Structures are given as structure tokens and as C-alpha cells.
Amino acid sequence: MPADCLSRQVVVIGSANLDLTVTVARLPREGETVLGGELLLSNGGKGANQAVAALKAGAEVRFLAKVGRDPFGDRICRDLVTAGLPANGLLRDESAPTGVALIVVDRQGRNQIAVAPGSNQLLLPEAIEQYEPFLAYGTVMLVQLEIPIVTVERAFRFAKANGMMTILNPAPASPLSDDLLRHVDLLTPNETEAEALTGIAVFDLPSATAAAKALLLRGPQVVIVTLGPQGALLCTASVVRHLPAVPVEAVDTTAAGDAFNGALAAVLAGKPRADALDTDRLLVLEDAVRFANAAGALATTKHGAQESLPTKAEIEKLLAGKPSP
């Protein structure tokens, strides 16, 4: 394996779904039916999205997930392997269907999402133990919360035992123990998730800072609160930095957070660990967040989940201020 690949290895453990997306003029209110436009079937799931995002952002990626032995699972496995992810991390289960997400998107790109997790809930801690050789090659481990929390805990214990940097995207929001958070190097909640984890309503930079500082006290070395069109807030024990978003015309915010997390992991996988977590040298983290902000912004300019994820070249072009062709 080339030396440059050895320094950019990301391991993602998480969900894989089929997304069914309907575009509508506006999001429905409770009990209301809104006639929509197009129906889009696409591959999704936070884990799969983040794995593809990291891959397209320049990292070498291994992804561990579980899908059903059904047509949706067949499609997901085929497409993820075609994208460049190794087939031996895509586990199949006979007893549960592949996870499905139902998504409604309005003209402003805002969405509502409901998920039937299916086989994702059967990705149990035993899979971490069974696939240790497959997972141990990574320098960064990225995990979300669409799989059982016991699997997340086991994954991070394994990662720390193997000297890996750990990134937890706490989505969807779920209670987290201090023991788990002590195994997290970077925690990346959005406003809603930061509020759910702290009880602090997040609506501006001061409230985001308060929530981030509260989370730092529970164990993570770095908290990055993603703020949508406001960019992201980078917070360590000694420093707070606001990194503004890159302006774009959004059409669908689905997978924007996943693009951010995958791109963030890709950048940090290519940096020495000491640099990435040394609060006296924040340039590495700031650059990583700027790159991730651009990735998230670009993901909002296209419909769908994995279809919207940008390449490294596209991200770099946006950061350089070059217009799209």
C-alpha cells in the first residue's frame, strides 16, 4: 500500500439505509397531506453517507454495516462497492429487512425524516470483535448513533486500545454516558443534538458555546457544534473559534451533516494525531473544519444523500472561490 494511503485511513461504523425522498412545496403540518413532486430512491444511512463522504474527500475508507438479504440490501452493497468501499465490511442478515428512511424535502431544502432501522439494529458488539483485523488498520474511527449504543461503546473502546482518533457524530440525538464520552476525541453535534445532550437551548453563538463547554466537561477533547448556514463552532478547553459557512444556494439539506463529518475525518486522518488534538496548534483543526464546512455546503446544492456528496476537488474549488462550471 502506498505511503500516502497509510496516512489517510478512516474507519466508519454505522448504518446503511435506502432513502425514499419526496419533494414538496412545503413541509406538511401534523395530520396534513401535501401533494409532492418527484420521488427519489437513493442510498443513505448516516454511516454509509459518512463513509462515502470521507472516501470522496480523499481518504481510504473501511465501512462496517449490516443490511438485510433483500433487494434494498443488494442495491446498497452493489453501489457502495462500486463507489470504492470494501465488500467484506458489508454484512448481510437473514432475519431483518434493510433499513429505510422516509424523507420529505421542501423548496428551501428543509427536511423531515423518519427511519425504520431494520438490520441496522442487529449490528451488535460481536461484529466489532469478529472484524477486529478489518477495523484495526484505521487512524481515525467515525461513528454515529443509528446503530445500538452498546456497539458504539465497544467500537470506541477498540479504537482507543488501537491508538485511533475517535469522532462521534451524536445523531440522531440520544442519551450518552460520561464513560462513552471519555472515549471520544471529537464530538460533532448540531444545534438540536447539543441541546438534547446538555439541556441548553442552542439558538446563537453564545448558547452554542455554553453547550459546547458543558459537553467538554464530560470527556471529549474537542466539541464542534455544526450550525447549518451559520457554519460551525470549534471549542476546546482553552479556545473557541467560529468558522463561518461557505455561502451556497441550498436545495436539499439531506446528508449535509454527513458530508461535514466525513470530510472532517478525511482531513484529520492525514494529520499527525498530536497536531490534531494539541490546543496550542489549532490551525490543523480550523483548516479541517473549513474543509468540512465547504463539503457540507456543497451537499445542500444537490438532491439526495450520497448523490450530493462532493469530491475533494469540488471542495477545494469552492474554498478557492472558483465558480462551478
17 annotated ligand-binding residue:
yes
- Residue linked to cell 462497492: 81
19 annotated ligand-binding residue:
yes
Q: What are phi and psi of 110, to 5 degrees?
A: -75, 150
Of the candidates 42, 39, 46, 21, the residue with the CA atom closest to the CA atom of residue 104: 21
- Dihedral, CA atoms, 270, 275, 276, 281, nearest 10 degrees? -130
130 annotated ligand-binding residue:
no
Here the cell at position 35 is 401533494
List the catalytic residues.
258
- Interacting residues of 316 by C-beta distance below 8 A, sequence separation 6+: none
> Please, what is the Cα angle at 186 between 56 and 49, to 5 degrees?
30
163 annotated ligand-binding residue:
no
46 annotated ligand-binding residue:
yes
299 annotated ligand-binding residue:
yes
47 annotated ligand-binding residue:
yes
179 annotated ligand-binding residue:
no
Q: Identify the three-state secondary structure at position 104.
A: strand
226 annotated ligand-binding residue:
yes
229 annotated ligand-binding residue:
yes
58 annotated ligand-binding residue:
no
Instruction: Judge whether 101 and 20 are in contact, CB under 8 Å.
Output: yes
270 annotated ligand-binding residue:
no
Q: Measuring CA to CA, how many Å separate 150 from each of 51, 62, 168, 187?
A: 21, 20, 14, 18
66 annotated ligand-binding residue:
no
Q: Measuring CA to CA, how many Å separate 51 from each of 48, 89, 115, 143?
A: 5, 12, 19, 10
297 annotated ligand-binding residue:
no
Of the candidates 13, 44, 48, the residue with the CA atom closest to the CA atom of residue 143: 13
Q: Measuring CA to CA, how many Å separate 147 from each of 3, 117, 123, 143, 314?
A: 33, 8, 7, 9, 31
Annotated binding site for K(+), which residues?
252, 254, 299, 302, 304, 308
Annotated binding site, which residues?
17-19, 45-49, 146, 190, 226-231, 252, 254, 257-258, 293, 299, 302, 304, 308
Annotated binding site for substrate, which residues?
17-19, 45-49, 146, 258
Annotated binding site for ATP, which residues?
190, 226-231, 257-258, 293
